[in-house]
Amino acid sequence: MPENKKHIALFIPCYVDQFYPKVAIATLELLEKLGCQVTYPMGQTCCGQPMANAGYERDTVATTKHFIRIFKDFDYVVAPSGSCVLHVKEHAPAIAGMEKEQSELHDKIFELTEFLTDVLKIENIKGSFPHRVGYHASCHGQRGLRLSASSELNQTPFNKAKQLMVNLEGLEWVELKRKDECCGFGGTFAVSEEALSIQMGKDRLADHQAQQVEILTGGDMSCIMHLQGIAKRNGNPIQFKHIAEILNEAIS
């Protein structure tokens, strides 16, 4: 059976469901345009990451069990978030009695861009997006899921998001001075270390601005929510889109 005929579950992080339905819609439409059969399981809630990263992984056992039950019967689980996918794979607590289901889930859950490049084997997407685009590599996607080569490592360069976007007609891909520096969101870090978080965000924005970026994109809306919040407060005209929105718009 071709990969896109398999049954795919859409996992939409809780804050994307609440704050950024347009990103979830773009993800769904994009996968559908690529011929996938996608279902959004209505019972889904949250992966438990905010609690675990704050030091309360032990309190996410029920959340994790629920997550496994909701998604266990699908062939693939795809989410427009590297961070939440990394949490499910690496930090969700081991659930006794569900070892098999949990281990299978770890193998079949994918962040959106890696699902497109690694499972659907899409070399590049045909479409048009005539804008100057800066890419923010979220750390959990970058160094957690290895969605692109890390500047720290001695490895052959690759970038799954770039691979998908770079051949879009009219798209100008921007190289940043610090291509994979953290934006300072960091979940609860954003409030527990507010001063640092803001400074890191401002520094990231300045790098994009220095390269005259028109639209800042990325695979994690949490980073983008933080950067957009700072940009708006400071009257910075840069626009923000999730990569799913760019790819979905480009195809249509």
Binding to another protein, residues 65-94 (CB under 8 A): 65-66, 91
x/- mask, another protein, residues 1-20, rule CB under 8 A, reads -----------x-xxxxxxx
Complex with another protein: residue 1 or 42, whichever CB lies closer: 42
How do strand 7-10 and strand 37-39 relate by DSSP bridges? parallel
Question: Minimum Å distance from CB 12 to another protein?
Answer: 6
Distances (CA, A) of 199 to 119, 124, 126, 205, 231: 37, 35, 38, 10, 12
x/- mask, another protein, residues 26-45, rule CB under 8 A, reads --x-----------x-xx-x
Site for another protein in 94-123 (CB under 8 A): none
Q: Cα 236–242–244 angle (5° rounding)?
A: 155
| 11: nearest Cα among 93, 105, 91 | 105
Rounded-to-integer distance, Cα 162 and Cα 120, Å: 16
Instruction: Provide φ and ψ at 187, rounded to 5°.
Output: 65, -125
CB 218, CB 242: distance < 8 Å: yes
Question: Minimum Å distance from CB 181 to another protein?
Answer: 6
Q: Is 176 in the site for another protein (CB under 8 A)?
A: no
Q: Residue from 4, 124, 150, 209 that binds another protein (CB under 8 A)?
A: 150
Question: Minimum Å distance from CB 57 to another protein?
Answer: 5
Question: Minimum Å distance from CB 212 to another protein?
Answer: 21
